[in-house]
A and B are shown apart, each in its own frame.
Chain A
Amino acid sequence: MAKSICTALREGALEGELAPALTIKDSIASPFGLQVFDHVLSQLFSSILAGKSPSQGLILVSFSRSPSFYLELLKNKGISVASSDKRIQILDCYNDPLGWKDQLVEISSTVTVFREVKHMDKLFNSIIELGRGLVGGGKIRFSISIDSVDEMLRWASVSSVARLLSNLRSHEQISSIFWLLHSDLHKARVTAVLEYLSSMVASLEPSHQLANGQRGDLENFALIEHNSKNGKFHVRFKKRNGRVRVMSEEVHMEQSGINFTPLSSEGAINQGLVPKVQFNLQLSEKERIDKANVVLPFEHQGDNGKPLQIYDGRRSLVDSKQERAVAVEKEESDSQRGEIIYYRDSDDEMPDSDEDPDDDLDI
């Protein structure tokens, strides 16, 4: 799935369509959004470098981590920064987003940074300018990544952020766009707005939900520890015709980076949770089959084409005469077999009546 996301972003926009957009969504219970972002970023960038994508460049708008971090990251992934210089441009909204450093005159900064994050229109213009500077004008496309929408939402209104993203998506030179969102920092409404704007949503969830994550109980701690390394990864694709496809994977955090594996079956998860005891709590496969083959008492009837009769305690009263005849007939035909024949003493006697039989006793 992680692969199909990267493929979709790599393929880019069709002529006359909006650019594919991806929201990477996480929450504090499973905070691997940045790692997924890094993964997608490096995959997309290496395919841009290899010329496999119609997009000719990548603009990275960095809010939550410093540009030097990303350059280091790409270097670690084996992408040489020197040769990639002409393909990637980082708009630095990290180092001085509000212009504080600018105001403090004694500090001189040599890096050109974006200082007015509160103005979404200016941000849009800078992104497009940077992209044009990278690939040139005309029809050459480029991709955009935004490493945190949260910071933007803190400084600007939802509608202006949505307008920025939507304008970027519909811009003719944009090939694809993706962004990161910490969903629990915002109201559900805001998350929904951003999900509507995207054609793919990749969401990270903890693999074990905590009953209440408030108190650091020791039982909870085992789950917390598990969740700090593992999580579930759901991807929702919205097709052009409106069809929605959801796929799931598991993510594992390792020292070397993020790892995606196919979802293990529910049974395997359960087996891992069953406590280790000396006796069997679960059935083996053979025992399970044997158990399924046992015919339960009420299932004997109707086996050999005979009508199914379930005794409900009342019906026999109505057709008891008929029954008696059947019983006699049976006696004649299967006299070989053992049989219990029961004649009711009288028809007055109510079978299984609700009346208390000791009603008349005077105690």
Chain B
Amino acid sequence: MNQRSSNLLDEALGLDQAIEPWPLRGRVVAIEDRVETSGSFILHHLLKRSLSRNPSSVSIFIAFAHPFSHYDRILRKLGCNLVSQRDNGRFFFFDMLKLRCPVGDEGTTPGGGLIALYGKIHKTISALPEISQKNVSIIIDDLSLMEVAANGSSDHVLDFLHYCRTLTSEFDCSLITLNHEDIYSIEDGSTFLLQMAYLADILIKAEPLATGLAADVHGQLTVSNKGRNKASNFHFKVKENMVECFYPGRSRD
């Protein structure tokens, strides 16, 4: 298992100890990556962790970026079978690749766009057995494409996220989102990233090294955990079936 190798990431998130309740329960986790360093591996890692932590845990995956087969292949490498999890009713996959919200204000009317999506999520969680309701993770990949689906209105996306957040306080579920840091510019007056940073309890940033590209290190992760007032920083290397995290200069290769 990659139990040891990903220790630092798990440690930073508080996942290294098998404590109940789950440390991410009722929390919002925002992952921000850049074009040079994709942060999707964190999403896969958290998906796997959330499915494997206990037999009643449920994940709801809202995919704007890739089809189901993509995630299935990756998670298989990580040792987790999404098809069987789906058949067992523990993994719900919402394929949103073709979602287009109606133009204009109609995006916020029921039956169309994000409200309908929220309704679907709420219905799914409500239909779960009581024990599973307390162990739900909602994962969104990714917010920038959701914004595209919402015709570029970041306000609609924020409204949607606000409603997803009410689910975290209503059902104690966790909300995990991926977004790209470098497509927003502060000069344009875009405050979407800041809004996300305020919304999130845990912010994970995947960045390239300040010194440029390297063969042995693929980038660095900065994890700011607001709940625990802790921040950690380490390097990572993405391998075929696991991610290696280590402090700067401690690579085992």
CB distance from B158 to the nearest CB of A (A): 7
Contact A104 to B122, CB < 8 A, known contacts A187-B189, A225-B231: yes
Taking a contact as CB atoms under 8 Å apart, the answer to whether B123 and A106 are in contact is: yes
Quick one: given A104-B122, A185-B191, A221-B222, are A28 and B233 in contact (CB under 8 Å)?
no
Q: Are B122 and A185 in contact (CB under 8 A)?
A: no
In the complex, are the beta carbons of B162 and A31 less than 8 A apart? no
Q: Is A94 an interface residue (CB 8 A)?
A: yes
Docked-complex contact B233 and A221, CB < 8 angstroms: yes
Contacts of A159 in B (CB 8 A): none
**Given A28-B198, A100-B115, A184-B194, A69:B169 Cβ within 8 A:** yes
At the interface with chain B, which of A50-58, A211-219, A283-291? A211-219
Interface residue? B59 (CB, 8 A): no
For window 164-205 of B, CB contacts with A under 8 Å fall at 166, 169-170, 189, 191, 194-195, 197-198, 205
Q: Tell me the A148-197 residues at the B interface (CB within 8 Å).
A: 150-151, 154, 182, 184-187
- Separation in Å of the B227 CB from the closest CB of chain A? 10
A100 touching B163, Cβ below 8 Å: yes
Contact code string B107-132 (vs A, CB < 8 Å = 1, else 0): 01110000100110011001000000
Number of interface residues of A (CB under 8 A): 37
Contact between B197 and A28, CB atoms less than 8 A apart: yes
Q: Give the interface residue-count category, chain B.
A: 35 or more
At the interface, yes or no: B207 with Cβ under 8 Å from chain A? Answer: yes
Tell me, yes or no, whether B226 is within 8 Å of chain A by CB: yes
When the two chains form their complex, are residues A228 and B224 in contact, meaning their CB atoms are under 8 A apart?
yes
Q: Which of B159, B220, B231 contacts A228 (CB 8 A)?
A: B231
Are the C-beta atoms of B198 and A182 separated by less than 8 Å?
yes
State whether A185 and B194 are in contact (beta carbons under 8 Å apart), knowing that A98-B159, A103-B110 are contacts in the complex.
yes
- Kindly state the separation between the CA atoms of A28 and B186 in the bound complex, as whole angstroms: 13
Contact with B along A98-110 (1 / 0, CB 8 A): 1011011011000
Which residue of A66, A185, A186 is within 8 Å of B198 (Cβ)?
Answer: A185
Residues from chain A with Cβ under 8 Å of B155 in the complex: 154
Chain B residues with Cβ below 8 Å from A150 are: 198
A-chain residues with CB within 8 Å of residue B198 when the two chains form the complex? 28, 31, 150, 182, 185
List residues 184-240 of chain A with CB under 8 A from any CB of chain B: 184-187, 215-218, 221, 224-225, 228-229
Question: Which residues from 95 to 140 on chain A have a C-beta closer than 8 Å to any C-beta of chain B?
Answer: 95-98, 100-101, 103-104, 106-107
Residue ranges of A at the interface with B (Cβ–Cβ < 8 Å): 28, 31, 65-66, 68-69, 94-98, 100-101, 103-104, 106-107, 150-151, 154, 182, 184-187, 215-218, 221, 224-225, 228-229, 253-255
